[in-house]
Structure 1
Amino acid sequence: MHLPFTPNHILLISACYPPSAALQTAGPEYRPNSQELSRLTYYATNRPGKAHKVGSELEKRVRVDSRKAQAGNIRARASLLITLYIFKTLATECRRDIALLSPSLIVSVNVTLSALQGDLEVAARAVSVFTAWTAYTDGHLIGADRDVTQNYMACLEGFARMGSIKLPDHEVQNRTRLVGIAALMAAVNSEALFHPSTHFKPQVSVIMHALLTTVLEVEVTTLEHEAVVMKEHPSSPYLDEFRTRPTIERRAASIHLHIDGDTGPSPSDVANASLRALSSLLGHSNGTQAASVMVAAFETFDDTGGWEKADHCRWFAAKAAEWTQYQYRFAIPSRLVESLAEGQDTPQPTFRHNTLAMMITTVFTSPTPLVNLSTSDIISNLIGLILRRVTINPDDPLLPALVACIASLGTHVYYADQIQDLAAELISRLVLVETNGIPGDGKTNRERGRVQAVRCLLAGLLGLIHAADTHETPKDGTQDNEATHAGTSATLPSVDPISRDVHLRPSRRTRVSPETWQDTLTLLCDTEYPIRADYSVALVSYLQNEIPKLGHYVGDDGVKRRPLEEGPSRQTDTMQAMVYGDSTTKLLNALHAYLYALATSSTLGLHSGSPGPTPERSFTSNVSGEKDGLASRDSPQSRDRRSATLTSRSRKTSVIMHVLQQAPSQLTLPVSVSATLSDYGNLLGVIQAVQEHIPVRGLLTGVPMLLALERAVESEGASSQHIFQAIKEVVLRAWITIGRVWQCPEVVEAAEKALSANPSTSQLPEIPRWQPGALDEPKEPIPVPPGSTDAVQLPDFNGADFVRLLATTSNVQETTGLDESSLLRRMLASWTAESAYREAVEGKSAYDTLRGDGLSPLIKVAPTLMNIDNMSLQSLARSTRGVGVTDLREALEGRSSVSNPNLANKAPSISTLDHPSTLAHGEQFHKLAPTRSRPQRSKLAGPGEVRDVLNKFGIGKQTGNSLLKSPFPTQKPQQRAAPVTPPYTA
């Protein structure tokens, strides 16, 4: 019975409840009177101002009933369930005014969870109320209203505890988790999560902890199965379109408890619910939000020990990239790399570091495309991390995983020059580490760190290039099982680069250019054998699969021939590139120079022989040592001037030239060579790769080097030395390879006969095997046996005879386009390592000159411009720019002939009083270089020069010599203005 003057809303609310005596029998539905509930919702809907009062009254009932139900009062529990049902109905019917009900509703849910979280039926009813509210709220109260925000976060934490609860009864545990995850799913698809940007991270941290707990507890195979099921049978399609639907059209999800007697929910069901929530969360997130989701996942792994479950973490990383929106996927690997870099100073790597590195590799090797990814930033961070870890510990166990990360960047090629750019970044850092080293605690540790850093970058470079080819989609639409499924693992597929049966699919990307790769050739002569061995592997792989092979193809009979290209001009251009040289020829010239130095030099490396000085000081000492050796040919002034203008690259070139100059033209006893027997095996492998894969250029650049090596071991009485025998074996086996490539059996037979003269001659060691994207253990060299050998020595042979046999071979003449005399002149030419390197580093080549690349752009268009009056080729050659206002100002000031040689009236004279070339090497390059001097003129110019400039502008009378035609018609003489008189001559 109600008291008089009871407010109407209280009367309406009270009428919804059954009589007190009937509350115990209201189950199992626990619903209010439907007719009275309709009156209440009609009242609240038509009187929005009363919604707050209705909510406050229901909140009071919830507080009282929760406290009594917690103490065991059955009627209070029944009344609480009915009150929560009324709240859900009001939230659904009063969706337009949901903000007025929000404070009371959120408080009621929080109070209920705090008091009766263990009562699954009450918790489920509270979740249904929360789900209805999340479906219709716009989220504006979160962050704006402190009380609502605090109660909302408390509700999320309560549901998260339910979603990750652990109970002895697994069936009850799974039921409770499903109820909690259902509430979290509602929060994930609500505007309350995404609207307040400042409260996104706190909410995600709470949600991710509950969702990932289940993910980490089931097997990866179960997760994969549930992901497939989720993809094939999406649940609640309205959730996917939730954020695009108007509020009036939305409907809240229904929360149902498990029915007693049925089979209880399994861990797979709970995992399925968690995965759906994760997928929805990432699918609705932008780039910044996706990064916050990953940070929350990392925090969960820290708290639960999830880093030790590397397979689960890798699977989650791959799915996170897949579930994130296409344009925001870049945030996943970027956040992974940033998190890995945050712990770069840790003395010892932890599970977190290793797992993060594997997650990065998994994301990059997955088939999921990653657009908008800054690969240059990624590789810069990874390179910096490698160098930092090497500085701390050269034998850091995290290094192989970091190398795999770099290699995996080549899996997806998003633009043509991507691999070229990444390789250039790697090579630039590689050269820097090679010359300057890395900081360390001691001299020995610094050198070990330098060796390990170079090896890591080399392995990453090789894996990067290999991955770019292996993962390329075939153009013909065929599927390769290894390449198709390679993205599901954290390792790159293996391939044997030494095998001649290797076949990598052609890629549409830009190949790493020879100019870029040429900077790495100095590693062939590094002081440390592990670097030389690893670089030999990388170099052979580059020659086999990466270097441009212009004009080469393999015929049906296995012979390398020219392709039949369209048009004779294309064939001519191809042959000029092969015979007269291009960037590949320059690379081969430098390569053969280094190979010769490796085979014959007593000291190797750009650093001093002792490990005492730091890399920087060693480099400087070499430079100064070279200058001291040339002191008699250079004055102190020229040395100081040249050292001030030398760049780092030219300094390195100077040091290299000094090393090559020291390479002996003939080995004499007692012989002292730094190369090991393994080095000669690697050297042979490189030579064979050149001759097999770049036969035309390899023949023209490699044969002179082989003849020079042959001459180097012609010393009398030294044929019994093991080093001489090793070099002879290298040369003979190289000739066998050349003979087989060019189908010249006479050369093969003669070389095999000379090689078989000593049956006990052992095979040289082969180039080491390698695994793409992996950092192997440092290779140990096989030293050259000391002293002399007692076995039958290899007989002397004449390489010139092999050259004559090749020159008469029709296959060689047809392919190169040269006759016998031209071939003999090219291959029997005098060769030194210094001259070969100079041809490799000089700015212009004969091929460039033939193509006309060194001429002025105006000369190229001369035939088109010849119809212009008095436009001679000589004037075109002198004119490299137009005439502007600056020329007129300088003419008025008398400085025109200084800044613009085209305006000078006298031909320049030749003067020898100038500085020597900064790239000078050798005695012939340290003479005074003739340069053109400017004619001396008076400070003030006469009217004629000014008039000449004005005529070039088209002002005044046209003489026909001007490069610029006046845009106005020539005026009649009587209409001309008075002659221009400079003001300073008036």
Structure 2
Amino acid sequence: MPFPFTPNHVQLIAACYPPNANLLTAGPDYRPNSQELSRLTYYASNRPGKINKLTGELERRVRVDCKKAQTGNLRARATLLITLAIIKALATECRRDISLLSSSLLGSISITLTCLSQDLEVAARTASVFAAWTTYTDGHLIGADRYVTEEHMNCLQVFSRMGRMDGPNLDHEVRNRTRLLGLNALLGVVASDVLFYSSAQFAPQITSLIPALIVPLWNVEQTTLEHEFSSVKDQPTSPYISGFRDRPAVERRAASIHLHVDGDKGPTSGDVANTALRALSLLLEHSNAMQAGIIMKAVFDCLDDTGGWQRTDHCEWLAVKIADWTQYQYRYAIPSRLVEALVEQQDAQHTTPRHIALAAMVKTVFTSPTPLVNLSTSDIISSLITLILRRIIVNTDDPLLPTLVECIASLGTHVYYADQIQDLAGELVSRLSLIETTGLGNGRIVSDSARAQAVRCLLAALQGLIHAADIHDAAKEDLPEDGRSRKSPIISTPVPSDANHVKPSRRSKVSPEVWHETLTLLCDAQYCVRADYAGALVSYVKHEIPRLGDYIDGDGVRRARPLQEGPVRQAGTLSSVMYGDSTTRLLNALHADIYLLATSSVLGIGASSSSNTTPPTSDAGDAPSAPSDASAPTADDSVNLDSPPESRDNSRRSTAIPPRTRKTSVMLRLLQNAPRRLSSSANASASLSDYGNILAILTAVHENLPVRALLTGVPMLLALDGACQHDNATDPAIAQRIRVLKELLAKVWLVVGTVWSCSDVTEAANKALSSQPSSGLPDLAEVHPGILQSAKEPQPFDTSSPSNSPLPTWDSEALLMSIVSNTNVQNATGLDRQGLLRRLAAQWTPEIAFKESIEAQTSYDGFNDKVSPLVKVAPALMHIDNMSLQSLARSTRGVGVTDLREALEGRRSLSNPNLAANRAPSLSTLEHTSIGAHGESPLRQVRSRPQQRKIGSPNEVRDLLNKLGIGKQNGNSNMLKSSFPILQKTEQKTKSPTIPPYKT
């Protein structure tokens, strides 16, 4: 019987307990009296002001019972379990006033877990109370109330330790039971507002949560993870857990956590992993980009503490699932954070398992079927390139390099705008050019092997990036416009298993202007770079380079198509070929570099700096004369482009010259000094493997770009044939090299004859090849895009072959006449026999071809129109002081009497507001050569010549009168005519004489 002066709330609580004699027999449920509990909850729900007193009394009882139960008092333990059930009932019924219960409730849970965390039955009852609180609270007390925040964090840490509990002496079944209890309690936190309400408290809570969600996944095999993941995917979490954040508090239902029944089959590690996967997926589904980044950082810290980086397969699997679980618009944060974590330790002296696992995770995420919108591919590729270069500086043979190359290549599987691959390729090419000219380390002395390794890594990444963008074509044949099937490119990147991911990218191809910057690598000083670039170049020509009118039939013969190629299309194709489009310029530079590789004794931009002297040639008559152009670079320039960075002073020499200008200057110098004939004093540096690579390149060019290859390549073949014509080849090495070159030329002529169905050329080439034993030109090594292969070694010349055998011979003039007389050639090019002969028999030198590849053809600018359309629309679109366009066009202001007076007095041209004195001074290109061709500084301002006073031109007066509406109107009058005197004179000759009512 209660004491008469006992407060009412204490009496209501005491009535809920069974008599003391029945406490030990109240198990296993240990529930309070149902009728008295209903009175208590009714009293609390209708009198919110009494909730603090009720929960305070309950917390006091919990603290007393915990201390007694800790010493083994079974009655106190039974009372504690009943008290926890009362607290849960109050939390459920008073859910609207849950904030009034939070302080005492969390205090009770915290003291219970601290004292009796090993008692699984008490821990289960405590976890059930905690789950009820997380279900109904809105989390606004977290961070605002210090006591509530501290107790909540203490509860999280205890449940997290339970979720990852392990020990050598711990029973397997007990361990799994304990982990399930902890994970179920954490599942309630993940799904509630308590985790997401305060942004400041999100990171501390995640730091406590994540280890419990990650460690159980690492204790099972990947096959088990896949099985449990399928179960989670097919049977999602209960809607009361996954969706109660969107429900009103009245409609929510708290999960009830029970202990596993003794005697039944204990929970397996798969069951624990299943619960962890559900909690982790639910956490990421509710997170934004910033929160996803915090989660990733917590995962990294957990793997650091537990040594989880050793299991790379688990890391890759987890990275893909995390990206898949994250909301669609926030997935970009996952690979971005992975790359950031990888770059954080880029200067480590040794590669750690963390590096290897992170790189593998990046590659796996990019190659997975999960779309990653809003991904900043330019920032990621820049970071990965920088990381590659830093790792090469630390260790040239760093084991992380192949994976990093695959990471860059895998970026090609995510194409979100048309020019994305071209932009990424441009970034790689710019880095290649910079490394090629200045090396590594920003002026630091780095070995040649490190430089070569850097170039090879970026080349492999570039090739893999391009091919990965076409991964959707890996399983089907690529059909060009002519309908002939070609073999699909070799794709090393794993093809995603999800068919929904295989979609056409509709990307734009990497333009020849971008690839043009890499051609100098064909003449690099190190063979491993030359070999890798030859494979990349052949792949680019076969699968990427644009083919405007260049195609061949299925039998390998190039024929004209009257239905597809009319006169207009043929004229456009011929104009682009003759006057130089980007593909033609690329082929011009390519043939110049091939000639240099085949004949020069000096290779590589850095190699030419060893001496400022001209390489020796065969004889004085064959040596190229000194360039007469004063602007052409020479070895005695004031700025030594080839000197190492540490030998330069602090002047502008090391910074004022861009890498492209430097490469152009050095390459032009090498091409000018290339020998016109092979001799003992000018023996070439190319190995036998180089000649095999040249054959593969020329074969690919003639088979895939037959028209352009014919017009740009045949003159080079004739010049290279002339370099082999040596009357006194007594040196065995020179004789052997000439024999190899002859065999190379014969095989190329055989390809040309086959492509154009020219039987005379084919028979002559076969006859030349059959007249001598083969020198064994090696084939181009197999290319695997996106894979960093081992450095290739050159195959030397076979010294055992006889040097006195006769050289293969053919009549080059007869071959040329057969080509120009071929009907297929004439139909494809649109030129007659004489036109072809003039084109193909023109003088060809490597420096001429190189200049044509970088100099703009002015004759093509005015081929279709007398005035560029850009100049016509520039005055209406541009309202700035533009010296290149706006100065060429007149203003759109009205025409008046003042204009007529100025025209009569000859001052019309001086009144052009775009040429006024207050405008910027004009720039002239008449006294300067091309910047790209000769490495000159930008255009310098020159003083304009004084204009002489002249009498008004009849045409100017007549045009002004026509504009004023006097006399006959000329509908073709153009305001730009006065700015183009040359065009005016042409029009003046064709127009009829002036007619009344005025005379001139």
1:599 to 2:601 alignment: no
Report deviation, 1:858: 5.3
- Aligned twin of 1:637: none
- Aligned twin of 1:438: 440
1:90 to 2:85 alignment: no
Report deviation, 1:922: 9.0
Report deviation, 1:238: 2.6
* Contact persistence 2:471–2:495 (CA under 8 A): no
For 1:539, the aligned partner's letter is L
1:742 to 2:779 alignment: no
Pick closer, same or farther for the CA change 1:853–1:371 going to 2, 3 Å: farther
Mapped to 2, the partners of 1:174 and 1:481 lie a distance apart of 50
Report deviation, 1:649: 3.1
Mapped to 2, the partners of 1:62 and 1:643 lie a distance apart of 77
- Aligned twin of 2:311: 309
Report deviation, 1:280: 0.6
- Aligned twin of 2:785: 772
Report deviation, 1:81: 0.8
1:842 to 2:851 alignment: no
Matches within 5 A, 1:33-72: 33-72=33-72
- Aligned twin of 1:972: none
- Aligned twin of 2:635: 625
Pick closer, same or farther for the CA change 1:340–1:562 going to 2, 3 Å: farther
1:880 to 2:889 alignment: yes
Select 2:413's aligned residue among 396, 411, 414.
411
- Aligned twin of 1:322: 324
1:149 to 2:149 alignment: yes
Mapped to 2, the partners of 1:66 and 1:612 lie a distance apart of 89
What value does the CA root-mean-square deviation take over the aligned residues?
A: 4.1
Report deviation, 1:794: 2.3
3-state DSSP of counterpart to 2:58: helix
Mapped to 2, the partners of 1:610 and 1:565 lie a distance apart of 51
* Contact persistence 2:415–2:505 (CA under 8 A): no
- Aligned twin of 1:531: 529
Mapped to 2, the partners of 1:644 and 1:159 lie a distance apart of 60
Residues 781-831 of structure 1 show CA distances to partners (whole Å, capped at 9, x for unaligned) of 123357994352322222222222222222222222222222222222211
Mapped to 2, the partners of 1:531 and 1:414 lie a distance apart of 32
Pick closer, same or farther for the CA change 1:507–1:51 going to 2, 3 Å: closer
Q: Which sections of structure 1, spanning at least 5 residues, go unmatched? A: 491-503, 614-621, 631-639, 865-875, 939-947, 965-986
Pick closer, same or farther for the CA change 1:481–1:396 going to 2, 3 Å: closer
Report deviation, 1:607: 1.8
Report deviation, 1:13: 1.0
Pick closer, same or farther for the CA change 1:903–1:597 going to 2, 3 Å: closer
3-state DSSP of counterpart to 1:627: coil
Pick closer, same or farther for the CA change 1:749–1:253 going to 2, 3 Å: same
For 2:602, the aligned partner's letter is T
- Aligned twin of 2:266: 264
1:669 to 2:687 alignment: no
Pick closer, same or farther for the CA change 1:142–1:931 going to 2, 3 Å: closer
Report deviation, 1:854: 7.2
- Aligned twin of 1:550: 548
Range that drifts further, 665-674 or 204-213: 665-674
- Aligned twin of 1:943: none
3-state DSSP of counterpart to 1:823: helix
Pick closer, same or farther for the CA change 1:756–1:957 going to 2, 3 Å: closer
* Contact persistence 2:434–2:659 (CA under 8 A): no
- Aligned twin of 1:241: 243
For 1:182, the aligned partner's letter is N
Pick closer, same or farther for the CA change 1:853–1:649 going to 2, 3 Å: farther
Pick closer, same or farther for the CA change 1:537–1:53 going to 2, 3 Å: same
Mapped to 2, the partners of 1:371 and 1:80 lie a distance apart of 53
Pick closer, same or farther for the CA change 1:252–1:724 going to 2, 3 Å: same
- Aligned twin of 1:540: 538
Mapped to 2, the partners of 1:28 and 1:550 lie a distance apart of 84
Range that drifts further, 707-716 or 160-169: 160-169
Mapped to 2, the partners of 1:641 and 1:157 lie a distance apart of 61
Matches within 5 A, 1:100-499: 100-167=100-167, 168-439=170-441, 443=445, 445-471=446-472, 486-487=494-495
1:590 to 2:604 alignment: no
- Aligned twin of 1:706: 717
Pick closer, same or farther for the CA change 1:205–1:573 going to 2, 3 Å: same
- Aligned twin of 1:944: none
For 2:67, the aligned partner's letter is R
Pick closer, same or farther for the CA change 1:573–1:184 going to 2, 3 Å: same
* Contact persistence 1:431–1:519 (CA under 8 A): yes
Residues 727-775 of structure 1 show CA distances to partners (whole Å, capped at 9, x for unaligned) of 111111111111122222332221011011112x222112122322121
For 1:457, the aligned partner's letter is L
For 2:460, the aligned partner's letter is A
- Aligned twin of 1:658: 669
- Aligned twin of 1:498: none
Dislocated runs of 4+, deviation >6 Å: 473-478, 480-485, 610-613, 640-646, 895-899, 901-905, 910-914, 920-923, 928-932, 954-962
- Aligned twin of 1:520: 518
Mapped to 2, the partners of 1:145 and 1:510 lie a distance apart of 57
- Aligned twin of 2:929: 917
- Aligned twin of 1:686: 697
Select 1:729's aligned residue among 743, 757, 761.
743
1:24 to 2:36 alignment: no
1:758 to 2:760 alignment: no
For 1:461, the aligned partner's letter is L
Report deviation, 1:164: 0.8
Range that drifts further, 560-569 or 237-246: 560-569
* Contact persistence 1:66–1:77 (CA under 8 A): yes
For 1:72, the aligned partner's letter is G
Residues 919-968 of structure 1 show CA distances to partners (whole Å, capped at 9, x for unaligned) of 49799x99x99999443589xxxxxxxxx9xx99x99999999959xxxx
Pick closer, same or farther for the CA change 1:767–1:111 going to 2, 3 Å: same
Pick closer, same or farther for the CA change 1:529–1:846 going to 2, 3 Å: farther
Mapped to 1, the partners of 2:580 and 2:434 lie a distance apart of 28
Report deviation, 1:860: 8.8
3-state DSSP of counterpart to 1:218: coil
Pick closer, same or farther for the CA change 1:360–1:103 going to 2, 3 Å: same
3-state DSSP of counterpart to 1:410: helix
Report deviation, 1:602: 1.3
Mapped to 1, the partners of 2:608 and 2:378 lie a distance apart of 36
For normalisation by structure 2, the TM-score amounts to 0.83
Pick closer, same or farther for the CA change 1:877–1:73 going to 2, 3 Å: closer
3-state DSSP of counterpart to 1:669: coil
Mapped to 2, the partners of 1:441 and 1:860 lie a distance apart of 47
3-state DSSP of counterpart to 1:715: coil
Residues 42-69 of structure 1 show CA distances to partners (whole Å, capped at 9, x for unaligned) of 1111111111111111111111111111
* Contact persistence 2:492–2:787 (CA under 8 A): no
Select 1:806's aligned residue among 803, 814, 819.
819
* Contact persistence 1:440–1:449 (CA under 8 A): no
- Aligned twin of 2:506: 508
Pick closer, same or farther for the CA change 1:84–1:507 going to 2, 3 Å: closer
* Contact persistence 1:403–1:459 (CA under 8 A): yes
Alignment length (residue pairs): 899
- Aligned twin of 1:577: 576
- Aligned twin of 1:616: none
For 2:463, the aligned partner's letter is L
Residues 708-742 of structure 1 show CA distances to partners (whole Å, capped at 9, x for unaligned) of 00001101122861111121111111111111222
Report deviation, 1:567: 6.7
- Aligned twin of 2:15: 15
For 1:744, the aligned partner's letter is C
Pick closer, same or farther for the CA change 1:794–1:629 going to 2, 3 Å: farther
- Aligned twin of 1:829: 842
* Contact persistence 1:474–1:505 (CA under 8 A): no
Pick closer, same or farther for the CA change 1:22–1:877 going to 2, 3 Å: closer
* Contact persistence 2:437–2:659 (CA under 8 A): no
